[in-house]
Amino acid sequence: MNLKIAVLPGDGIGPEISAQGVAVMSAVCEKFGHNVSYEYAICGADAIDKVGDPFPEETFKICMDSDAVLFSAVGDPKFDNDPTAKVRPEQGLLAMRKKLGLFANIRPVETFDCLIHKSPLKDELVRGADFICIRELTGGMYFGEKYQDDEKAYDTNAYTRPEIERILEVAYQYALRRRKHLTVVDKANVLASSRLWRQVAKEVAQKYPEVETDYMFVDNAAMRMIQDPKFFDVMVTENTFGDILTDEGSCITGSMGLLPSASTGEHTPVFEPIHGSWPQAKGLNIANPLAQILSVAMLFEYFNLMEEGKLIREAVNASLDADVRTPEIQVEGGAKYGTKEVGEWIVNYIKNA
């Protein structure tokens, strides 16, 4: 297979973890006889510094001309600490999602037995937890009408029936391939937008009688994720709620550095770790590359290259079992491995498999 990949390293630790993702992808393609080419593009704070735009037109064109995008992270403290900044790195991420029509964000949450002790939850609660959060990505408050002055500000949480229907269809397709249980998360007791979500969800559910569908207010869902994470199989929700709940879900595993994601929709799909740019760690060779590497596994699986994805997951699990880990998940007394060393170990595993 021929693959043309757009690589967007972004800011902070992005270039460091991106390099390991690319190295793993290249190793897998070599092993399975695929041809892969890469085209690099700027985004985020890096792009603002260079051209004044967090998602330049040239970057958009490179993404559109590619089969998939391997993205890392955006964000920089100089923008976080300046509430008056009109252009921000995160606007580039939103622009990418909107321009590529990436309305479905898929975030798997699964635990690793050797890292259960790192979870803030008790072993008996978290062991075996395995669910997918599906977040609507191009609607809601993040993209609705906005206003701000010195005395008043608002964000509009607008949704249309077609936007809700298409994300629900994605969620049901995932539920059908898994344990046939879908939880629709909203705030229908308070918000009009959520009442439309629930109305449409109840209509779409009739098309999938083989799937058990339940409905949960977002505050209850947040609590249930902590009390009983194994309850969930597939969860679907709107943009803002999904942003919050998926970060909560990442903590269940014990490290945000372990979870990948995919964003799919109308044009080129994007594969990325769920964590941010961690600018404090930039250049220190301590960032965990596993979420980026597992994003590469999701990329292969998107193109139905299941054996390739399986080998990456096997290599990641083997590295964890061998205590080849970056500092935040290393066992006490374990050897020191940096971002680059973990990536190299996984690449060698793949080559020798």
Residue 44 gets the label, from left (phi > 0), alpha (psi -120 to 50) or beta, of left
Query: 136 by DSSP, 3-state: which?
Result: strand
User: DSSP string of 138-161?
Assistant: SSGGGTS-EEE-SS-EEE-----H
Assess whether 351 carries a catalytic annotation. no
119 Cβ neighbours under 8 A, 6+ residues apart: 111, 126, 251, 252, 253, 254
How far apart CA 47 and CA 45 sit, in angstroms, is: 5
Q: How far is CA 292 from the centre of its chain?
A: 9
How far apart CA 312 and CA 352 sit, in angstroms, is: 12
Query: Out of 49, 247, 282, 302, which one is annotated catalytic?
Result: 247
Tokens 């976080």 sit at which residue? 80
How many other C-beta atoms are found inside a 10 Å radius of the C-beta of residue 202? 12
How far apart CA 24 and CA 4 sit, in angstroms, is: 15
The two structure tokens encoding residue 122: 């008790």
Assess whether 243 carries a catalytic annotation. yes
How far apart CA 275 and CA 260 sit, in angstroms, is: 9
Query: Out of 46, 174, 187, 349, which one is annotated catalytic?
Result: 187
How far apart CA 56 and CA 45 sit, in angstroms, is: 11
Q: Where are the alpha helices (DSSP H) in 105-212?
A: 123-126, 161-177, 192-205
Query: Out of 142, 174, 208, 349, which one is annotated catalytic?
Result: 142
Composition of the chain by helix, strand, coil, percent to 5: 50, 20, 30
Query: Out of 180, 243, 302, 340, which one is annotated catalytic?
Result: 243
Phi then psi for residue 86, to 5 deg, are: -85, -25
Assess whether 187 carries a catalytic annotation. yes
How far apart CA 166 and CA 144 sit, in angstroms, is: 18
The two structure tokens encoding residue 140: 């809601």
Query: Out of 219, 321, 336, 351, which one is annotated catalytic?
Result: 219
Assess whether 219 carries a catalytic annotation. yes
Which active-site residues does the annotation give?
Answer: 142, 187, 219, 243, 247
